[in-house]
Structure 1
């Protein structure tokens, strides 16, 4: 199984080495770590950044989740039950931010607070000394408009592929960990999370590196 701390750490270390082997250039290096919800991409991306920093690289993590639309916008659009789907993100704001991150010395970004389920504006900064940005999110490689417009931004792309049955187990477990009763946790996972996961798996662009988990 690939989902042990030791194996995830080994995978992250290999990815950090791959990032450091990329050709140097004037603009920042942009790395995409994508995959369905429950695939482990956030943990992997965090460890890749930690590995880069440990090797002396000026690297930071940029989660896509800071660009969630607020519930006050989702509810009148009828999208609140689908929160987390591609159409519930500020794609254009995210794409603009990524283009700025590639080329501008300092960029202020929003951060998603999972406890409160809201995005907080102006909560993170890409600083001038940062040379590598590892972005992570479900839809970074989605081959649908408008998301496919992100493809030229990535110097390296990584996709985590996980069997649907394993994703279902993990997603139900996530809601159980948040205090939901078993039936409610399963309803949350199957009603929204798993359809989003299947959409990601079905419509992802081919990544430079595909990791099949569990291995």
Structure 2
């Protein structure tokens, strides 16, 4: 059966960066790393530099198409951002990938203003989840205010200025009611979240609008279930010794757990919530992505799939 993707190993993919220079320093890379990822300059050079070149080419083509449309209409329309969606499981490293891509794309001359919009901000507040009895399904499709996310993306694609989005705190595990993120006509917006490529079943006869309808390019970060479970548990253990120690942390109750207790709880959360969500809602969207980054057990990308035009 013919695949809709062109397949690359890391060596083949690395050659596609051409002469693109490295614009991230070792010091910057340390600040971009996730809590549980052994990211290296070599990984950025071999995987993310070629990707930034590809995304730059797509963005420039989109900007040129916008100019062509203005010429056709005989008037100047509002500037709209190129929107990139990044999906994948909990613990796979979406946030780190987003930060690296942002840092690289900001160095290209044609799009210095690159924002990241995370879908965590569009989770319903904990009080709403508790009222609806779905606190244990946080991260599942029904726990998101998708209508609000669609409205924000619609405003961005309409060229509106000062578009505001809600902000989520991983410390308090809740929406920050008094804070907003302001997006002021960015050149590129990276929309990162486990749910961004999902297509809920239509409840009405007419077609629904999906989050991915606003994407110009989409990426799925993938890894084997066993690797994801290991990474999730390792991250939980590190958070137990760091963020969970803060009394303001929603998970402060886990701060004094023994190693055995922490592992058991992390395994339970993974199996009961994250693995279930991965199998039911997240992995099924993999085939909708324009590009797939496949990670090996060491958290490094070892295979890249690019959708054929």
Q: TM-score, normalising length from structure 2?
A: 0.64
User: Among 216, 220, 223, which residue is 1:162 paired with?
Assistant: 223
Specify the alignment match of 2:55 in structure 1.
19
Specify the alignment match of 2:164 in structure 1.
108
Task: Point out the more displaced range, 77-86 or 200-209.
Answer: 200-209
Q: Which has the larger radius of gyration?
A: 2
Specify the alignment match of 2:115 in structure 1.
60
> By how many angstroms is 1:138 displaced?
0.4
1:43 aligned to 2:96?
yes
Instruction: For residue 140 of structure 1, give the secondary structure of its aligned residue in structure 2.
Output: coil
Could you list the runs of 5+ residues in structure 1 that have no partner in the other structure?
none
Specify the alignment match of 1:9 in structure 2.
44
Q: Is the 8 A contact 1:158 1:209 kept in 2?
A: yes
> By how many angstroms is 1:54 displaced?
2.3
Q: Determine the C-alpha separation between the residues in 1 that align with 2:239 and 2:231.
A: 13
Task: Point out the more displaced range, 51-60 or 36-45.
Answer: 51-60
Q: Is the 8 A contact 1:63 1:136 kept in 2?
A: yes
1:152 aligned to 2:213?
yes
Q: Is the 8 A contact 1:175 1:189 kept in 2?
A: no
Q: Determine the C-alpha separation between the residues in 2 that align with 1:202 and 1:152.
A: 17
Q: Is the 8 A contact 2:149 2:211 kept in 1?
A: no
Q: Determine the C-alpha separation between the residues in 1 that align with 2:168 and 2:49.
A: 26
Q: Deviations over 1:116-138 (max 9, x none)?
A: 0111244211013x111111110
Q: TM-score, normalising length from structure 1?
A: 0.90
* Length, aligned pairs only: 213
User: What is the correspondence of 1:1-215 to structure 2 with a 5 Å cutoff?
Assistant: 4-6=38-40, 7-10=42-45, 11-22=47-58, 23=61, 24=63, 25=66, 26-56=79-109, 57-103=112-158, 104-121=160-177, 122-128=179-185, 130-145=186-201, 149-179=210-240, 180=254, 181-199=262-280, 200-214=282-296, 215=302
RMSD: 2.0
Q: Runs of 4+ in structure 1 displaced over 3 angstroms?
A: 145-148
Could you list the runs of 5+ residues in structure 2 that have no partner in the other structure?
1-9, 11-36, 67-78, 203-207, 241-253, 255-261, 297-301, 303-309
